[in-house]
Amino acid sequence: MPVINRIAAIHDDMTAWRRDIHAHPELGFQEERTSAIVAEKLESFGVQVHRGLAKTGVVGILEGAPGAGAIALRADMDALPILEGNDVAHRSTKDGTMHACGHDGHTTMLLGAARYLAETRNFAGTVYFVFQPAEEGLGGGEAMVKEGLFEHFPATAVYGMHNWPGLPPGEIAVRTGPMMAACDEFTITVEGTGAHGAMPHLGHDAVVAAAQIVTGLQSIVARNVDPLEAGVVSVTMIHGGDAFNVIPQAVELAGTVRTFKPEVRDLIAANIERVAENTAAALGTRATVNVEGRFPATVNTADETARAEAAACAVVGAERVHSDLAPCMGSEDFAYMLQARPGSYVWIGNGLGPGGCFLHNPGYDFNDEILPVGASYWATLVERELAADV
Ligand code: NI
């Protein structure tokens, strides 16, 4: 079964919705206009609407035939603080804010599925359409879970979908186990003794210590992490000094850690502390280390991934469904929903598009061609998982 005909018939409508949302991007927890549009559309389709979970979050509730089953489908709504580089009619109307991650498309695909499922109701039980705010680093998914998402809307499984540039349009990638990485952020303050740049022997140089710490941190993945496990340690900020002739008192370092397993995550955090503190001490300076967890890993459960794969195969054909793509070291706050309920997060191919650029690039744009494919995947997943008795 390819794309559902009744969904293909609303392709033009979905394209118009997607471009309207694209033209009016909103940052995390500020999705006032977007969530109002989502709520209004869901109501017009006959879907019951709950607003205000995690500030701008929206949940649609749709009952099919009587049945005890209940699943949740999640889309994200927020945009990024990026100046759009595209010259298209639906270009962002807000300078410095753009939908560079395709959340405009995710919202639209879930709306398309909601419209079809509300019209047909060819399922038994309950579907929850979860439109979350603030996926881009602000923890909207975590906020929804903490505010009782699954207590108010008792789904037994939760499913997510993200577009993926580089995967051909409409192809779908599924994977059991980790799909996206855990993200930690660290800061290191190196304190020395400031001195005249011409008389280094009168101080303890925090710049040299910081430089050696940056290099030393690269030994953690190379020498401490099991070579068969995945990990990334990237120093992404160095701040220190104000003058050519002054050795500063302190230097600040910061960066990110990505891992798939909690034990690797803990090992890296402990080693950042060890390397930074001891390297600093060896040079007569002192390092204060702070490692903070941001997102856990996004880990798909086996049963739900098998169900997601079956639905994907039904829509696009088994030859266009991949179960062997490598996971990504990026992170995703759908991870919090997967910690609360079993489920599966899939990628839908966005193609490379004219600019050939990846997510979070000023030249990125969601590919409207795949809107009916994604909406059909959602609808098919519901009709299979909550199959009505015939
Ligand atoms: Ni995204």
Identify the pLDDT of residue 389.
67
What is the rounded distance in angstroms from the CA atom of residue 167 to the CA atom of residue 187? 35
Query: How close is the Cα of 212 to the center of ligand 1, in Å?
Result: 35
Query: How close is the Cα of 26 to the center of ligand 1, in Å?
Result: 14
Query: How close is the Cα of 110 to the center of ligand 1, in Å?
Result: 15
Query: How close is the Cα of 200 to the center of ligand 1, in Å?
Result: 47
Close Cβ partners of 258 (under 8 Å, ≥ 6 residues apart): 181, 182, 183, 230, 231, 232, 329, 330, 331
178 with 344: CB under 8 angstroms?
A: no
Take residue 83 and report the two structure tokens written for it. 């100046």
Over residues 247-265, mean pLDDT:
97
Residue 37: half-sphere exposure toward Cβ, Cα within 13 Å: 21
Query: How close is the Cα of 127 to the center of ligand 1, in Å?
Result: 23
Query: How close is the Cα of 135 to the center of ligand 1, in Å?
Result: 7
pLDDT tens for residues 21-33? 999 999 999 999 9
Query: How close is the Cα of 74 to the center of ligand 1, in Å?
Result: 12
Query: How close is the Cα of 75 to the center of ligand 1, in Å?
Result: 10
Query: How close is the Cα of 300 to the center of ligand 1, in Å?
Result: 17
Q: Indicate the SS3 state at residue 373.
A: helix
Query: pLDDT > 70: what percent of the chain?
Result: 98
Which among 129, 127, 136, 133 has a CA at the least distance from the CA of 147?
Answer: 133
67 with 153: CB under 8 angstroms?
A: no
Query: How close is the Cα of 221 to the center of ligand 1, in Å?
Result: 27
DSSP 209-241: HHHHHHHHHHHIIIIIS-TTS-EEEEEEEEE--
Close Cβ partners of 9 (under 8 Å, ≥ 6 residues apart): none
Whether this prediction's pTM lies above 0.85 is answered by: yes
Query: How close is the Cα of 134 to the center of ligand 1, in Å?
Result: 10
Q: How confident is the model at residue 2 (pLDDT cuts 50, 70, 90)?
A: confident
Query: How close is the Cα of 244 to the center of ligand 1, in Å?
Result: 42
CATH class (in words) of the domain with range 5-181+297-385: alpha beta
Q: How confident is the model at residue 354 (pLDDT cuts 50, 70, 90)?
A: low
- Please give the CATH topology (third level) of the domain spanning 185-295: Alpha-Beta Plaits (3.30.70)
Query: How close is the Cα of 181 to the center of ligand 1, in Å?
Result: 14
Identify the pLDDT of residue 329.
96
Query: How close is the Cα of 103 to the center of ligand 1, in Å?
Result: 6
Identify the pLDDT of residue 388.
81
Strand pairing class (157-164; 343-349):
parallel
Q: How confident is the model at residue 303 (pLDDT cuts 50, 70, 90)?
A: very high
**Between vectors from CA 358 to CA 356 and to CA 359, what angle results, nearest 5°?**
140
Backbone phi and psi for residue 185, each to the nearest 5 degrees, phi listed first: -120, 140
Identify the pLDDT of residue 390.
56
Residues of the chain within CATH 3.40.630.10 domain(s) are 5-181+297-385
Query: How close is the Cα of 240 to the center of ligand 1, in Å?
Result: 33
Residues of the chain within CATH 3.30.70.360 domain(s) are 185-295
Query: How close is the Cα of 360 to the center of ligand 1, in Å?
Result: 8
Query: How close is the Cα of 136 to the center of ligand 1, in Å?
Result: 7
Which among 318, 320, 282, 304 has a CA at the least distance from the CA of 155?
Answer: 304
Q: Rounded mean pLDDT of the chain?
A: 96
Query: How close is the Cα of 141 to the center of ligand 1, in Å?
Result: 12
